[in-house]
Amino acid sequence: MTVSAGYELGLPQGRFQNGMNPLHSLVVSGALPVAAISKNLHVGATLGIGEYANARYGVEYNNRGNYINTSIRYTSNVFQGGGQALYLFDLSNGVKPFVSAKAGYIGFFSNFLIDDPTDPDACRVLEHESIQADNTLYWGYGGGVRVAIGKGSGTQNYIELSAHKTHGREIGYVNVDRLQQMNKPMDLSEGAQPVNVNFVSAGTNSVHGHTLAEVFRNRVDFLQLRLAWVYQFSL
């Protein structure tokens, strides 16, 4: 059995580059050999959580009738979870090239948070709201190499380098190039959908809608590069 953990860089490709930043993720996975077919064939599961946007702007906010200067933060995250299959070519010098395929679920989530200015660690928020959420299925293929770095009694450690092309159906995601302050008007890009949120005006105490962001829709298309530590052991 193998378990692994590492860093993954997701580089948007094609039309998916429009309004999308590189995705930085922490990924964990595990796999078991399918001895009935081949000892080199491993199947298992992988999970990843990452971020593609984090921005902050100063705002004047009405907190229960008190107007305070604070900041609004935007965060955009991605969750991935699914199955994977790997076929390893076991070379005698501790190097194991492999090819792999994967499929599963991917979700995109964007939020805004109004910071509490009395909290210096920014752990508390005055307001927190989701401004976008969407999900779809993904599939991908690729390969890489595992290099042995240490061995114990019945165990083996590897460093893994891999690259995968990951595709999915059309999904909505926040255009990270056009996140807005509350007091700035916003003209939508062609083909984009607005994200509107209600706020209270500091001067008139009236509720008004404001476009905080815009959402694009494109097919999921990433080139994912991973650096991971792999631990192999016998059950």
Q: pLDDT by residue (tens digit) across 117-171?
A: 776 665 666 667 788 899 999 999 999 999 999 776 678 899 999 999 999 999 9
pTM of the model: 0.82
Return d(Cα 173, Cα 132) in angstroms, integer.
Answer: 7
Q: What is the pLDDT of residue 208?
A: 46
Report helix, strand or coil for 205. Answer: coil
Alpha-carbon span 99 to 116, nearest angstrom: 49
| Cα–Cα distance list, 25 to 41, 79, 89 (Å) | 26, 9, 27
Alpha-carbon span 111 to 19, nearest angstrom: 16
pLDDT at 124: 63
**Alpha carbon distances (Å) from 19 to 52, 56, 78, 120, 178:** 10, 17, 15, 32, 8
According to the model, what pLDDT value does residue 197 have?
A: 59
What the chain holds in terms of domains, given with CATH numbers, is: 2-233 (2.40.160.20)
pLDDT at 168: 96
pLDDT for the residue numbered 215: 83
Which portions of the chain are predicted below pLDDT 50? 200-202, 206-208
- Return the pLDDT at 181: 52
Q: In the prediction, which pLDDT does 206 show?
A: 47
